[in-house]
Amino acid sequence: MATVAEIFETLEWGPAPEAANPGLDWIKEHQPFGLFIDGGWRKPTSGKYFSSENPSTGKPLAKVAMGNSEDVDAAVAAAKRAFEGWSKTPGHVRARYLYAIARQVQKHSRLLAVLESMDNGKTIRETRDIDIPLVARHFYYHAGWAQLMESELPGMEPLGVVGQIIPWNFPMLMMAWKIAPAIAMGNTVVLKPARYTPLTALAFAEICEEIGLPPGVVNIVTGEAGAVGDRMLEHPDIAKIAFTGSTDVGRHIRKVTAGSGKRISLELGGKSPFIVFDDSDLDSVVEGVVDAIWFNQGQVCCAGSRLLVQEDIADRLIDKLRARMERLRIGDPLDKAVDIGAIVGPVQLAEIKRLVEVGQSEGATLWQPSWACPTEGSFYPPTLFTDVSPASTIAQMEIFGPVLVSMTFRTPAEAVALGNNTRYGLAASVWSENINLALDVASKLKAGTVWINSTNLFDADSGFDGVTDVLAFGLPYLS
C-alpha cells in the first residue's frame, strides 16, 4: 500500500465506496414491489413481475410489478376521484404537502442516492450532489407556486388527471420535474417510470404515504410501455400527457393523442453545440466539456455532444482534452472517486457501439483513453471523434452516450451556422472571454437554453425546454 508521502507525490486516488446496504436492505424489505394506487400498494392484475437490473453488474436488483391496462384504469379512476378534493384544496394547504415531501426527500437522501446509483448506473457523486438535491429543490420551489397560485395566476384552473411518462436517464429528477408542478397546481397524477429504473419512483410513493398525501393524488404504475404507456395515451379521463424520452416515442404520442382533446408536452432529444472561441480559458473549457458530455455518461438530452472549436486553437484544445480524458476514472458507480459510471443497459450500450462504428465507417477519427473499462456490466469509455463532417450521422444523430464529436469553425457567423445545423433546439453552450461576442452568438442560436462559460446548470426556477416553448411555473398544468 502506498504511503501518505507517496500519495502526496502521485496524487493517486484510492477507492471510496459508499455502502450499498441502505439500498439493498430497503429493496429486501419491500420486494416484490406492488403498484401504488389510491394511496396504497396493490398486486398487479397480471400477477407478473419484472426484474430491474444493476447496470454496473448486470445482475437483478429488484422484482417490480408488471402493471397492465386494468391497473392503469384503476389508477386513473383513483386520480379522478382525488381530483375533486385536491383541486379545491387551497394553494397554501397543497403547499404544505409539497414542503413535507421535500423535507422527506432530504431526510432519505442517502437511501435515494444509493438506490438511484444502483438502479441506473450513474455515479453516487452525481446522485448525491445533483439528482436528489434538485428533487428536493423542485418540491420546495413548486410549494411556493402552490401558495402563490391564487394571487399570481388568477382565473387559471388545473387540467384534471395528468398522465406522466418518464425516461431512465434522471429517474427521480424527471419524476420531480413532472409531479411537483402538476400537483402544486391542483392536478392529480398517474406516472409510469421507465422500465429500467423504477426504484426511486417507488421510494417516492412511500414518501407520499409517509406524509399523508391524500389517496389518489399521486399514483405510480410500473410496467411495459406497450401495456401501461399505451393505455395512458388512449384513456379518456386523462386530460394531459407529459412525456420525456425519445423522438420516435414523442411522435407516436402525438399521433395517438391527435384529435382526442388531450394536451401534450413532449421533451425529446438534443444534439447541443458546445462552442469555443479562441479567447476562451481553455482549462475551464476542458472541465466544461467533461461536464457537458461525460456527466451521466452522456445520457443527457441537453448534453454538449458537438464540440465546435475556433480553428486556430483546435489542436491545443484537443491535446488538453485527451490528457484530461486519460485521467477520467470509470468503474463502480458507488465509488465516490469515480467520474464515469455504467450505461443504463446492454441495449443502450449496443446502440452507442453501433453509432461509433458508423462514425468510423464515415471516415471520422476516433480517440479513446489507453485504459480499459470494467468487463462486468455495461461500461463504455469516454470517446472523442475528430475529422467529423457536419452532415455525417454522428454529427446529426443523438448518440446518448459518452461520445463527443468535434468540428472547427473560423468566424462567429460560421459558429452560429454550424451550431444551428441540427434538427434539435434544446440547449447550447458558448465559451469566450469576450462577453459581447458570447451574448451576440447566444442570441442567434436556436436553443431553449444557452449557457455562457458554463454548461448543464439546472434549477427549478429556470424554465427548461426547446426553442419554441417555455415550461415554467406549472403553466403547462393549467388552463
> Catalytic residue among 18, 116, 126, 267, which?
267
Output 74 or 165, the one with its CB closest to ligand NDP.
165
Which contiguous run of DSSP H or E holds residue 306? strand 306-310
As measured in angstroms, the least distance from the Cβ of 221 to ligand NDP is 11
Judged by beta carbon, residue 203 or residue 285, the one nearer ligand NDP is: 203
Residue number closest to ligand NDP, CB atom = 229
Residues β-bridged to residue 409: 310
**Read out DSSP for 86-144?**
HTTS-HHHHHHHHHHHHHHHHHTHHHHHHHHHHHH---HHHIIIIIHHHHHHHHHHHHH
Residues of the chain by 3-state class (helix, strand, coil), percent to 5 = 45, 20, 40
Q: How far is the CB of 88 from ligand NDP (least distance, A)?
A: 31
Return the number of the residue (220 or 268) whose C-beta is nearest ligand NDP: 268
Catalytic residue among 116, 208, 301, 302: 301
Q: Is the peptide bond before 15 cis (omega within 30 degrees of 0)?
A: no
Identify which of residues 230 and 279 has a Cβ nearer to ligand NDP in the complex. 230
Is the separation of the CB atoms in 274 and 429 below 8 Å?
yes
Active site residue 208: no
Task: Name the grid cell of 142.
Answer: 413548486
- Give me the residues that bind ligand NDP (CB under 6 A), please: 165-169, 192, 194-195, 224-225, 229-230, 233, 244-246, 249, 252, 267-269, 301, 348, 351, 398, 400
CB 334 within 8 A of CB 377: no
Distance separating alpha carbons of residues 101 and 143, to the nearest angstrom: 10
Nearer to ligand NDP among residue 98 and residue 403 (C-beta) = 403
- If the CB atoms of residues 137 and 192 are measured against ligand NDP, the closer one turns out to be 192
> Is 301 part of the annotated catalytic residue set?
yes
Residues 6+ apart with CB under 8 A from 152: 145
Helices and strands counted in the chain (H then E): 17, 16
CA distance 260 to 279: 53
Q: Any idea which residues carry the catalytic annotation?
A: 267, 301
